[in-house]
Structure 1
C-alpha cells in the first residue's frame, strides 16, 4: 500500500475578508531554511492593490466609528486566536530556519504585542488629546481621529512579529489597511490572515497581499484613495525613498518611515506608533450652551 500524499496548503491573498488568488495569475517560489522550495506565493499586481484599497475604504467608516473599547476587545480576541494556534506558527517559523526557542519567542512576543496595543485602545485619546485655554468664552478640545486608509510594507525579517507590530497600531486607532507581507517570508502573513478571519475583525479592515516590493511600491504610494504609507525596514534605499516622497505628494498622503532593527526591543512598541496615523481635530463650543 502506497504512502499517503499530504495535501499541501495553497497560499492566497486576503482581501475584504476573503482569500482570492491574485488577479495576475502569477506566483513566485518561497524557500525554506535549507533552500528547498516550500510553497508558491501570489505575485500580486496593481489590480490586487486597487481591490484591497477599495475594500479598506469601504470598511473604514464602520471601523472608525466603533468605540475605542470595542476595537481593543477585538485586538484582544486576535491575540486569543493566535494563542490557540501557537504551535502552528512556531512550526512555520522553524521551517524557514528559526531555532525552536527563537520561534517560540517570536510567536509569544507577537501575542503580547497585540495585548499591548489592545490596552492602549481607549487610553491614547486621553494622553494625546487636550483641553486648550482660549481667550474667549468657549471650550476648546483637541482630539486624535484616524487618518483613513494606510498602506504598509511589513518588515522583511521577523515575518510574524514585524507584521503584527505594524498592523496593530494602525487598526487600533480606527484606520483600515493594506499590507504587503515580507517578500522573502510571506507564509506567516497568510496564516495570520486566517487568524484574523476567525476573529472579530470586520472584512476589509486588514487586507494582506504578497509579491514583489519593487513592482508594487508605486501602486501602494500613488493611489489617490490612500491616506498614509508606512514602512519600517532600515535598508530602504535612496531611490525608494524618493519614489515614496514623490508619490505621496500627489495627494498629500503621510509617508511614515521608522527604522526598526529588532521588533523584540522595547523601542519597537509605543503609543506614538498609534498617533502617527491620527489627525488632530479641534472643536470649539460656547460656554453656557
Structure 2
C-alpha cells in the first residue's frame, strides 16, 4: 500500500437509555476537554425530553428487575465486573484523561471500581438479612419485615470522581432492585458514557440503568419534580443552591432524598447506600393450633 496518512476514527459518544444508544433528542453536544484544555470528544447535551425518556425506560424495567431473584441480580452485577476487566485499558485511559491522573493512579481507580461491582454483587442476596427479620410481638402472630426497592431513582453522579464515584452511586441502587436515571459528571462524562456500553453487554436488562450527559442544573429540576421518580440521590448536586432546590422539588410527591455529603469513594463502602432506597414491608400472619397438641405452624 502507498504511504498515505491514515485519518483517525474518533469515537462518537452517545446516551444510554432503555438499553439503546440514542443521540440527544435536541441534537446538541458540548466539548469535553482534559485537565490541560485539550479536546477529547463531543458529548451529548441531554434535554428535558431525554430525561423523560429515561424515566419511562426506568419505570418499564422496574417490575422485571425488582421481581428478579437477588441471586440473579448478583450474577449480573458480577458480569458487569467481568466485562469491565476485559476493557480495563480503555477505562484507565479515559479516567486518566478526564481527571488528569497518571496511568498508574488511574489504574488504581479503575481496579477499585471493578472491585466495587464485585462487592455489591455479593450483597444482593444478603442485605435482606441485615435490614429484615422476624419481629417480637405480643399475640399469636408471625410478624416479618422485609426490604423492598423504592422504585425509579434519579442519581446525580459525583462531579470529580468520574468512574469510581459513579460506580459507587449506581451499583447500590440497582443491587437492591431499583432502576436508575443517572446524570453523569458534566466535566468528566466520557467514562460514564463508556460504562453504558459495558452495561449493554452485561446481561443487565435495558432500562435498569439509563445514563445521560449534560447539565444537572438543566435536567435535575425536571427529574426532581417528575411524578414517576420515587427517589433522588443528590451526591453530585454541588453547584450553588442546586441541591436545596432539587430537594424542595422532590417534596411534591414525597420522594426519598439522599443529601450530598463529603465522601472518600476510595474507602470501603458500608451498607448505607443500599438501605437509602429500600422500603420496609411488614407482614402479619396468624399462628394457629394443629389439633390438641397446640403446636404452631
Q: Same fold (TM over 0.5)?
A: yes
For residue 100 of structure 1, report the CA deviation from its aligned partner. Answer: 1.1
- Does residue 191 (structure 1) correspond to residue 191 (structure 2)? The answer is no
How far did residue 68 of structure 1 move? 0.5
| Partner residue of 1:92 out of 91, 94, 107 | 94
Describe how 1:39-188 pairs up with structure 2 within 5 A: 39-96=41-98, 97-188=100-191
TM-score (norm 1): 0.96
Alignment partner of 1:35 out of 37, 59, 62: 37
- Tell me the TM-score normalized by structure 2: 0.93
**Aligned mates of 1:40, 1:171 — CA distance in 2:** 28
- Distance across 1 between alignment mates of 2:237 and 2:54: 26
Q: RMSD value over aligned CA atoms? A: 1.2
Does the 8 Å CA contact 1:234/1:259 hold for their aligned counterparts?
Answer: no
Aligned residue for 1:30, secondary structure, equals: strand
- Decide whether the 8 Å contact of 1:143 with 1:281 is kept in 2: yes
1:124-158 CA distances to partner (integer Å, 9 max, x unpaired)?
Answer: 10111021111111100011100000000010012
Larger Rg: 2
Whole-Å Cα distance in 2 between the matches of residues 91 and 224 of structure 1? 39
Query: How many residues were matched structurally?
Result: 286
Q: Secondary structure at the match of 1:224?
A: coil
Distance 2:178 2:52 in 1: 17
CA-CA distance at 1:220 after TM superposition: 1.6
Secondary structure of the corresponding residue to residue 233 of structure 2: strand
Query: Within 2, Cα distance between the matches of 1:188 and 1:179?
Result: 13
Give per-residue Cα distances to partners, 1:223-274, cap 9 Å, x unaligned.
100000002248453x2233122211110011111414421023xx111210
Tell me the SS of whatever aligns to 1:23. Answer: coil
1:249 aligned counterpart, secondary structure: helix
CA contact (8 A) 1:110 1:164 kept: yes
Query: Within 2, Cα distance between the matches of 1:165 and 1:113?
Result: 7
CA distance in structure 1 between the partners assigned to 2:237 and 2:211 by the alignment: 21
Who is 2:21 aligned against? Answer: 19
CA contact (8 A) 1:147 1:278 kept: yes
> What is the CA–CA distance in structure 2 between the aligned matches of 1:118 and 1:180, rounded to whole Å?
23
The answer to whether the Cα contact below 8 Å between 1:14 and 1:209 also exists between their aligned partners in 2 is: yes
Q: Distance in 2 between matches of 1:101 and 1:257?
A: 32
* Runs ≥4 residues deviating over 3 A: 233-237
The structure-2 alpha-carbon separation of the partners of 1:159 and 1:227, relative to structure 1 and needing over 3 Å to count, comes to same
Structure 2 gap ranges (5+): 289-296
Q: Is the 8 A contact 2:179 2:207 kept in 1?
A: yes
